[in-house]
Amino acid sequence: MSEANTLEIRHLRTVFHTRKGDLAAVNDVSLTVPKGKIVGIVGESGCGKSMTAMSVMQLVRKPGEIESGQILFRGEDLLQKTPGEMQKIRGDRISMIFQEPMTSLNPVYTVGHQVEEALRIHEHLSKEELHRRAVEIFEAVGIPEAEERLKSYPHQLSGGLRQRVMIGMAMICKPDLLIADEPTTALDVTIEAQILALMKKLRDENGTSILLITHNMGVVAKMCDFVYVMYAGRVMEQAEVFELFRNVQHPYTAGLLQSIPRIDHVVDRLYTIPGVVPNLLHLPAGCGFCTRCRYAQDRCYEELPELREIAPGHFIRCFSTNQELSGKEESHA
């Protein structure tokens, strides 16, 4: 593993064992997060984005299991760590902003206690210093009346404030790697812009690497250096962000971009990708996207395409290079 990479996932496969069979939520996924860079994972709900993050954090619970692969964090395979070793890493060297803060915050403790707990576990600080750092991080993430809000319980805060508490908890130890799972879902556009700017500031000042999970292609374009597009548990396309938007090649990525409303092109009806994400227990024998793809050929239903490089650093999982997509989507770059 290169010293320039904070995280490197190699051929990760995370499976859920059900009565009806094994469901591969993450299927042979490889990705790299270079030091100090922001890497995006984008795709529809159910494509495996969040489960990839949960696998990195070692938070997959039964009947789920990480079946194979490697998760290298600064050269060390996290899958070889004991639960005790992972507990020391989580929240300190690797932090995660979860999508739903109400289920992530403990309802019987104040949010101040929970934020201070993250510091208490990993750093030896006095009570006064813990309190000061908690106030500072609340102010940094835009929580008004920070001193008073520390005394609040989760149910006393709005969804947006709870999300900002979660972001504060994730950032307070200045981690090497921050995993953000839809971090701005509950926030209005003004607060969203503030939080995204704060994440960039953390990256710039501390060299923190960020793995950003989102369905919002606008956030990807604004924030990310590299992008991985996932569908049905697999990576379908990956490239540097400018290359992806300038030269989109996979039909699924093209569909995601076409679904974005545009102020310079008014239409009666927004574009949607036809069909639905397939049941992961009953995937097609070939490409997982073949049943929704306008370019599908006979072999697409029978053979699984390999991830192949079509330009330096630009990979797609598709049998054909759809050159006609590039011109159609250039205006989105």
Q: Where are the domains of the chain?
A: 5-229, 248-332
Percent of the chain surpassing pLDDT 70: 94
Residue 254 · residue 292 · CB < 8 Å = no
pLDDT tens digits, 201-253: 888 888 899 999 998 888 999 999 999 999 999 999 999 999 999 999 999 99
CB neighbour list of residue 287: distance below 8 Å, 6 or more residues apart:
293, 296, 300, 301, 303, 304, 305, 317, 318, 319
β-pair partners for 315: 238, 309
Among 49-63, 125-139, 224-238, 268-282, where is mean pLDDT lowest?
268-282
Q: In angstroms, rounded to a whole number, what is the distance separating the alpha carbons of residues 130 and 120?
A: 7
Best CATH choice for the domain 5-229 from the list 3.40.50.720, 3.40.50.300, 1.20.1250.20, 2.40.70.10: 3.40.50.300
pLDDT at 196 > cutoff 80: yes
Mean pLDDT for 37-58 is 94
- 171 alpha-carbon distance from chain centroid: 16
Reported confidence tier of residue 2, pLDDT bands at 50, 70, 90: low
Largest CA distance in the chain: 68
Show the CA angle centred on residue 255, arms to residues 253 and 257, nearest 5°: 75
Alpha helices in the chain (DSSP H): 49-56, 83-89, 101-104, 111-122, 127-140, 146-149, 159-171, 189-206, 217-223, 241-246, 251-258, 323-329
Residue 306 · residue 223 · CB < 8 Å = no
CB neighbour list of residue 19: distance below 8 Å, 6 or more residues apart:
none
pLDDT tens digits, 69-90: 999 999 999 999 999 999 889 9
* Burial (CB count <10 Å: 0-12, 13-18, 19+), residue 61: exposed
In which order are the strands placed within the sheet that holds 76-77? 21-34, 5-18, 64-73, 76-77
Find the helix or strand (DSSP H, E) in which 316 lies: strand 314-317
Residue listed under structure tokens 């106030």? 135
The pTM of the full predicted model, rounded to 2 decimals, is 0.89
Q: In angstroms, rounded to a whole number, what is the distance separating the alpha carbons of residues 313 and 246?
A: 14
Grouping H, G, I as helix, E, B as strand and the rest as coil, residue 169 is helix
